[in-house]
Amino acid sequence: MDKEAAAQQIAAITKSLEDAQKDLRLYASAIENGSGTDLESIGKVSSTHTNLIASVRNLNRSARGPVDMVFAQIEAVAYTGAVRALVEMGIFEALPLDGSSLSADVLAEKLDVEKDLLVRLMRVAIPELFAEPKPHEYAHTPYSMVYLHPGIRGAFKLMLGEYTPVFNQLSEFFKSNGWKSPQDEHNNPYTFTHRTNGLTMWEHVKLDPVYFADWNAAMNAQGLATSFAISIFPFHSELSKLETTEASMLVVDVGGGLGHATMQIKGLIGDVKGKVILQDRPEVLDDIKEDLGAGIEKMGHDFFTPNPVKGASIYYIRRCLHDWNDAKCIEILKNISCSMTEKSRLLIAEIALPTTGVDVEGAWMDLTMMSFTGRERTEEQWAGLLTAAGLRLEKTHGLAGTHYGVVEAYLK
């Protein structure tokens, strides 16, 4: 690199560092001055944290330069591959939880693995994940201990086991099937990569009970991680405007899974009289082990059939529609709209992407959904689906710093 090019790089690094420092101060201020519990504070913290991450990524890009950033992608692949191997090896469970260290010799004997292999894998994962207080001696850090959480472990194994190979095969799929978004549940990047022999993604993941347990843990963890978005819609203030009785159908949670969102909605409704219905397929409802609480009723229902509850105040569907292509979404929405009255409203709790400036999470989530014909959608795309199902978009409720929101719709 000549002096002029080096000077330009130093200037770029300096500017990126200044931007990162500025965004760090804003993030710290949001934490210090916010309550941490109300939506405005949560949104401010989320927004400033997102900006800080973007600045740090830009600083890393400036420091590495164009050529080295190409090799950064190789590093990332090697790192995640090594971590996945270490997960399967059992290193996370083998290390002491009190932060003390174990030598490679002890770990190799304990896990019945070759010491040389363990050392080679661990050198990739240090210092991002584990600590190495002495040569070939390893200890947990907060960044490694998080992998012991079943939901985090499941999400990691899901993305590395199922979707990393899919992402690597995207170009081959599109070269074979045309450069357009996939629409066929039986022929898409997922089924192409995993050679599912005619099975859909949903059918394929159920073949291995152990893996399916990891898959469910990952889905539940993601649902809980984004549960803050449920309170974006003002359930209590809107429902308290209605004259209701104990028999009134207040909220029908369509495809509500194990009921975590349903219970949160019930809490947000507060003292408004009426019923909350949790709907999902009977085999899903059979897996519910905890008491959902008073005022919540379970009802077996497949959302590809007309909704049996007529005239509810709110039909609520969360993190379901992004799994499906437009045609399937319209079918699901029609099966809800046919049971609505002019006083009913539909709430779709999903990501609502902006037309530009999509954050990292929104972008990779969309590619993940695309792999089996789903997608994350913009407000305009949500409006198009609603119109096709006989509904109209009234408003999109959002929160600063995140693309998660609630799309509110009524009958036309």
- 45 phi and psi angles, rounded to 5 deg: -65, -45
Give which of 270, 384, 262 is closest to 317, Cα–Cα: 262
Residue 231 token pair: 């309170």
In 126-187, which residue ranges form alpha helices assigned H by DSSP?
142-145, 150-158, 164-168, 170-177
* End-to-end CA, the chain: 63
Place of tokens 């399937």: 328
Q: How many angstroms separate the Cα of 321 from the Cα of each of 68, 277, 333?
A: 39, 19, 9
CA atoms within 13 A on the CB side of 327: 5
Helix (H) or strand (E) holding 297: strand 296-300
Name the 3-class secondary structure at 62.
helix
Classify residue 355 by its DSSP letter: S
| Residue 384 identity (one-letter amino acid) | G
Q: Are 45 and 401 in contact (CB under 8 A)?
A: yes
| Residue 101 identity (one-letter amino acid) | S
Q: What angle do CA 62, 66, 69 make, to 5 degrees?
A: 85
The residues annotated as belonging to the active site are 322
Give which of 116, 117, 110 is closest to 86, Cα–Cα: 117
Residue 269 token pair: 């409704």
Please return the burial class of 287, using the count of CB atoms within 10 Å of its CB with bins 0-12, 13-18 and 19+: exposed
